[in-house]
Amino acid sequence: MANILFENFVNMQVLEQKYMLLEYKLINFLIGYDSKIYFLYETKKQTKFYYSVLELEINWNSGILLQEKFYSLGKFSMQFHFIQPLHDKLLLVSSTSRYSVKTGEQKNAILLDSTENIYQRFCLGDCINDCLVLSDGRIMTGYFVEGMIGGHHGWDNPVGKTGVLIWNDSGQIIWNAEKYGILEYYAMNIDNQENLWFYYYPDFYLIQTDGITDHIYEPHIAEAENFFFTKDTRHIIFLKNQYQHLKFSYASLNYQKIGTHQKLYLQYPKKTNIPWRYAFRNANIAILHQQQLFAKEIISI
């Protein structure tokens, strides 16, 4: 048994009020390769979607906010669900892409800067469940079942049919998980060397890949919702599925195997109900409870 203590939190209500975001809906928040947290906000006016971004630089040791930036990205006809920094630009991705014989694939990813200038559009497929971008610009995507089997939004031969893809920074596929026979994608993360790790059904294996060489781990846990690592790389931490009330467990990690699971508890400065929104990247964990943002780098257990 082990504990992770969160000593401080960022008051998101204060920031949302400061930047007049109280009437906006928080769509998602993700950690970038630069260790900053990106919050994507949306409001709809008639048929257009308007997006704004809060970029937070956090002290991952104390959980204290160091710096914030605000971007108004303007209006779009498409609804977006993911945001990641890509080089010096921002990547916005919609979970949905439609396909028709007449017009072809809908480009559901756009690359733009903080002043609304769009540099590139490309298609990353339909029914995207996860999206992460590495420091070299490679894009990692994982797909819902509907994005794998086709017959959804006009796709008979879906882009995401292998469950997990790696793209270059121009939106071209450079790796796929075809050989693993994925029937349902569950989760992905990045380690210290920016190798991709992903977890899937029906085998419930963890695969580590750099896009050239793969390693297969048996994690001894089924239907985990997500996972992350300790910075010293000695342990892996699993977030169990929703029916287990967001409970955590950890196990030793080495090149050969994953060890026996033990209970892990998260402790907050005061009594807090179980949070339901979170973001993981490598050893960084960000948890949003109501409007309190808890953030921490898990060095070791």
Amino acid at site 125: G
pLDDT by residue (tens digit) across 263-292?
Answer: 998 888 765 556 678 999 999 999 998 889
Q: Are 54 and 15 in contact (CB under 8 A)?
A: yes
DSSP code per residue over 49-105? EEEEEEEEEEETTTTEEEEEEEEEEEEESS---EEEEETTEEEEE-S---EETTTEE
Q: Are 20 and 52 in contact (CB under 8 A)?
A: no
Q: pLDDT-derived band of residue 150, with 50, 70 and 90 as boundaries?
A: confident
| Distance of alpha carbon 153 from alpha carbon 139, whole angstroms | 23
Q: pLDDT-derived band of residue 232, with 50, 70 and 90 as boundaries?
A: very high
Q: What does the DSSP 8-state code read for residue 273?
A: P
pLDDT by residue (tens digit) across 28-37?
Answer: 999 999 999 9
**Sequence-distant (≥ 6) Cβ neighbours of residue 69 within 8 angstroms:** 54, 55, 114
| Distance of alpha carbon 1 from alpha carbon 248, whole angstroms | 10
Q: Are 229 and 283 in contact (CB under 8 A)?
A: yes
Measured between its terminal Cα atoms, the distance across the chain in Å is: 10
* 75: number of Cβ within 10 Å: 15
* 244: number of Cβ within 10 Å: 13
Three-state SS at 238: strand
| pLDDT(300) > 60 | yes
pLDDT for residue 289 = 86
Helical residues (DSSP H) of the chain, grouped into ranges = 12-18, 146-149
Residues listed for the chain? 301
| pLDDT(243) > 60 | no
Helical residues (DSSP H) of 153-208, grouped into ranges = none
pLDDT by residue (tens digit) across 108-120?
Answer: 999 998 788 899 9
Q: Model pTM greater than 0.75?
A: yes
19 dihedral zone (left: phi>0; alpha: psi -120 to 50; beta): alpha
- Token pair belonging to 199: 């977890």
